[in-house]
């Protein structure tokens, strides 16, 4: 199938590469010249495990271009995967989505049928607006167009994007037109029937079952995306709330999570207590959902509480540091991990940034390490980098503890699971370890010489 994808961010590029691997004829459009330069040189502009190799595999068939006009007229299906950044009030800004729809409609051929798919995460009602935008452009052009708009929310997780694209739990399609549903069913046929040869890096999990393609109306599809992210976000906030109480009553949240997770209705996943959620999705999408609710005059206290608990986790880690160090002024704190989660260089809404800002504000000296996100963190904290000589980044994790008063594990990179704890503890002025992700066994850390403090653990 001939496909045009607008936007080559995490969602757009992953989708482009995977659909190309599934033998679709894919052209991806992006206006960002620096991204295009990288893509034209065969380099992925995003850090995502496996994407570089897969991009090289499909290199001879996939196309990247800045021009909507070059690729849309010929396409059967057009996928919009542009950003919907938050506005000041938290609502999602759909300007780029509507602009993309306008540009597409300007070059659609009269009478040819197209399926226009919105993959970006958008507030409820956006698909309807996109259909109106398209119709308005057709009437401006004085032509009769034939475009079916469909919502097809994306559920990929950064760091696991390709695994999720090849082996999704489900595919959701919201459309009023049978033609659009049929096109999407043909698009995803190799995934729905698992008829493709798995790439060597992404073998089919033995327990994987064929995914259902659920069809519904566009508004419900848009709501499914927000409700899914909000539910996962509140599951994490719930266990973090329990973690706080565990600390107060001398219980261990990792044991509690194990115990409740064994109930199949609850399940083990997304019950890791710690520094909570960051990234471009949960913070933005929970805020956007509250924005949608506010517009409807509807209150969502559970979602509001989930957000408050999440951001309180960051403050609680700094409180723990204050407790053990008595004052942060002049103390040296090593930060293990800057990315919002492992296997990505994404630092958007990362807990590390808030923690570092607070430590610097209180006069601490901060030394930070991350396997790949230092450049992005340096950029995000540039005002501090330029004005505060207490902030240092290091690429050698064993430089972190030197003369430090405390280490804080913020991101649970694999590398940190394998650290020589004894060696770290020995170099420190006072060997305090605040484990913000409960990565270490308390007894192991203590045996290595650390004063160990986790989240929700005795
Ligand atoms: C999330 C969803 O998982 C995807 O399904 C969705 O498509 C995506 O948002 C999106 O809307 O684009 P992502 O933000 O990439 O994906 O990452 P997650 O793996 O869900 O983790 C989010 C945050 O929750 C991370 O900061 C992680 O450290 C934290 N987390 C996760 C916990 O604190 N505890 C857990 O048990 C699980």
Atom of ligand 1 nearest to the CA of 161: 15
pLDDT above 90 for 90: no
Q: Which of 240, 281, 344 to mutate to test the pocket of ligand 1 (most atoms within 8 A of CB)?
A: 281
Distance CA 381, CA 359 (A): 13
Nearest-CA residue for ligand 1 atom 34 is 272
pLDDT at site 389: 85
Sign of CA dihedral 180, 177, 67, 122: negative
Beta strands in 171-251 (DSSP E): 171-175, 213-216
Question: How far is the centre of ligand 1, averaged over its atoms, from the C-alpha of 17 (Å)?
Answer: 22
CB atoms within 10 A of CB 67: 12
Q: Which residues line ligand 1 (CB under 6 A)?
A: 121, 154-158, 229, 232, 236, 270-272, 274, 276-279, 281-282, 285, 340-341
φ and ψ of 26, to 5 deg: -110, 130
Question: How far is the centre of ligand 1, averaged over its atoms, from the C-alpha of 446 (Å)?
Answer: 30
Distance CA 234, CA 302 (A): 8
Question: How far is the centre of ligand 1, averaged over its atoms, from the C-alpha of 16 (Å)?
Answer: 22
- Grouping H, G, I as helix, E, B as strand and the rest as coil, residue 174 is strand
Q: What tokens appear for 112 in the block? A: 């040819």
Pair 128, 222: CB distance under 8 Å: no
- Grouping H, G, I as helix, E, B as strand and the rest as coil, residue 366 is strand
Distance CA 409, CA 389 (A): 22
173 closest CA partner among 165, 164, 182: 182
pLDDT above 90 for 458: no
φ and ψ of 87, to 5 deg: -80, 175
Atom of ligand 1 nearest to the CA of 159: 15
Q: Please give the positions annotated as active site.
A: 281
Mean pLDDT of the region 46-74:
96
Q: Which residues contact 217 (CB under 8 A, 6 or more apart)?
A: 174, 175, 176
Nearest-CA residue for ligand 1 atom 37 is 270
How many CA atoms within 13 Å lie on the side-chain side of 41?
8
Atom of ligand 1 nearest to the CA of 271: 36
| Second-level CATH architecture of 312-453 | 3-Layer(aba) Sandwich (3.40)
Atom of ligand 1 nearest to the CA of 121: 11
Nearest-CA residue for ligand 1 atom 9 is 281
Question: Percentage of residues in the chain with pLDDT exceeding 70?
Answer: 100
Nearest-CA residue for ligand 1 atom 33 is 276
Q: What tokens appear for 190 in the block? A: 């190799």
- Give the C-alpha distances (Å, rounded to integers) separating 95 from 33, 124, 162, 246, 300: 20, 14, 28, 45, 26
Q: CATH 3.40.50.720 residue ranges in the chain?
A: 2-215, 312-453
Nearest-CA residue for ligand 1 atom 19 is 157
For residue 304, the Cα-to-chain-centroid distance in whole angstroms is 20
Question: How far is the centre of ligand 1, averaged over its atoms, from the C-alpha of 256 (Å)?
Answer: 21
Atom of ligand 1 nearest to the CA of 156: 7
With cut-offs at 50, 70 and 90, classify the pLDDT of residue 386: confident
Nearest-CA residue for ligand 1 atom 13 is 157
pLDDT in tens, 349-382: 999 999 999 999 999 999 999 999 999 999 999 9
Question: How far is the centre of ligand 1, averaged over its atoms, from the C-alpha of 102 (Å)?
Answer: 32
Q: Which residues contact 268 (CB under 8 A, 6 or more apart)?
A: 257, 258, 261, 262
pLDDT above 90 for 388: no
Where on the phi/psi map is residue 159: left (φ > 0), alpha (ψ -120 to 50), or beta?
Answer: left
Pairing of strands 25-29, 2-6: parallel
Write the CATH number of the domain with boundaries 2-215. Answer: 3.40.50.720
Q: Which of 242, 267, 277 to mutate to test the pocket of ligand 1 (most atoms within 8 A of CB)?
A: 277
Q: Which of 232, 241, 243, 314 to mutate to test the pocket of ligand 1 (most atoms within 8 A of CB)?
A: 232
Nearest-CA residue for ligand 1 atom 24 is 277
pLDDT in tens, 410-442: 999 999 999 999 999 999 999 999 999 999 999
Atom of ligand 1 nearest to the CA of 346: 15
pLDDT at site 135: 97
pLDDT in tens, 102-117: 999 999 999 999 999 9
Nearest-CA residue for ligand 1 atom 3 is 157
- Grouping H, G, I as helix, E, B as strand and the rest as coil, residue 173 is strand
pLDDT at site 385: 83
Rounded to 10 degrees, the C-alpha dihedral 367/373/378/384 comes to -50
Q: Which residues pair with 86 in a beta bridge?
A: 92
pLDDT in tens, 298-350: 999 999 999 999 999 999 999 999 999 999 999 999 999 999 999 999 999 99
Q: Which residues pair with 173 in a beta bridge?
A: 215
Question: How far is the centre of ligand 1, averaged over its atoms, from the C-alpha of 114 (Å)?
Answer: 33
Mean pLDDT of the region 131-139:
98
Q: Which of 161, 229, 347, 455 to mutate to test the pocket of ligand 1 (most atoms within 8 A of CB)?
A: 229
Distance CA 305, CA 309 (A): 6
The DSSP string of 387-426 is H-TTEEEES-GGGTTTT-SEEEE-S--HHHHT--HHHHHH
Distance CA 217, CA 223 (A): 10
């Amino acid at each position: 199938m001939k496909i045009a994808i607008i936007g080559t961010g995490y969602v757009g590029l992953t989708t482009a590469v995977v659909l190309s691997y599934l033998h679709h004829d894919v052209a991806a459009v992006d206006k960002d010249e620096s991204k295009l330069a990288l893509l034209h040189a065969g380099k992925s502009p995003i850090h995502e495990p496996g994407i570089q190799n897969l991009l090289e595999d499909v290199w001879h068939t996939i196309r990247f271009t800045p021009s909507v006009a070059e690729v849309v007229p010929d396409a059967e299906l057009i996928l919009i995967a542009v950003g919907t950044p938050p506005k000041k009030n938290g609502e999602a800004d759909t300007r780029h989505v509507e602009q993309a729809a306008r540009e597409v409609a300007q070059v659609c051929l009269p009478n040819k049928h197209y399926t226009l798919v919105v993959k970006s995460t958008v507030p409820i009602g956006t698909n309807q607006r996109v259909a109106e935008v398209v119709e308005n452009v057709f009437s401006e052009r004085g032509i009769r167009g034939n475009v079916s708009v469909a919502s097809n929310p994306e559920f990929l997780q950064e760091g696991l994007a390709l695994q999720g694209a090849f082996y999704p739990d489900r595919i959701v399609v919201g459309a009023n037109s049978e033609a659009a549903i049929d096109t999407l069913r043909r698009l995803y046929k190799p995934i729905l029937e698992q008829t493709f040869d798995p790439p060597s890096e992404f073998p089919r999990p033995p327990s994987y079952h064929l995914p259902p393609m659920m069809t519904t109306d566009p508004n419900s599809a848009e709501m499914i995306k927000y409700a899914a992210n909000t539910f996962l976000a509140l599951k994490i906030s719930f266990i973090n709330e329990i973690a706080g109480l565990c600390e107060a009553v001398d219980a261990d949240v990792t044991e509690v999570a194990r115990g409740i997770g064994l109930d199949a209705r609850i399940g083990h996943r997304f019950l890791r207590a710690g520094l909570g959620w960051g990234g471009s999705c949960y913070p933005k999408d929970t805020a956007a959902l509250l924005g949608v609710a506010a517009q409807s005059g509807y209150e969502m206290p559970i979602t509001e509480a989930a957000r408050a608990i999440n951001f309180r986790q960051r403050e609680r880690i700094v409180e723990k540091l204050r407790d053990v160090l008595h004052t942060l002024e002049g103390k040296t704190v090593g930060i293990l991990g800057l990315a919002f989660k492992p296997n990505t260089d994404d630092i958007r809404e990362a807990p590390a940034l808030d923690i570092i800002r607070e430590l610097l504000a209180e006069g601490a000296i901060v030394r930070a390490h991350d396997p790949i996100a230092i450049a992005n963190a340096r950029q995000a904290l540039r005002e501090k980098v330029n004005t505060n000589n207490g902030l240092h980044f290091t690429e050698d994790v064993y430089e972190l503890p030197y003369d430090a008063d405390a280490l804080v594990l913020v991101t649970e990179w694999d590398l940190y699971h394998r650290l020589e704890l004894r060696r770290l503890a020995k170099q420190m002025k006072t060997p305090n370890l605040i484990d913000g992700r409960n990565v270490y066994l308390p007894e192991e850390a203590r045996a290595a010489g650390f004063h160990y403090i986790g989240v929700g653990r005795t």
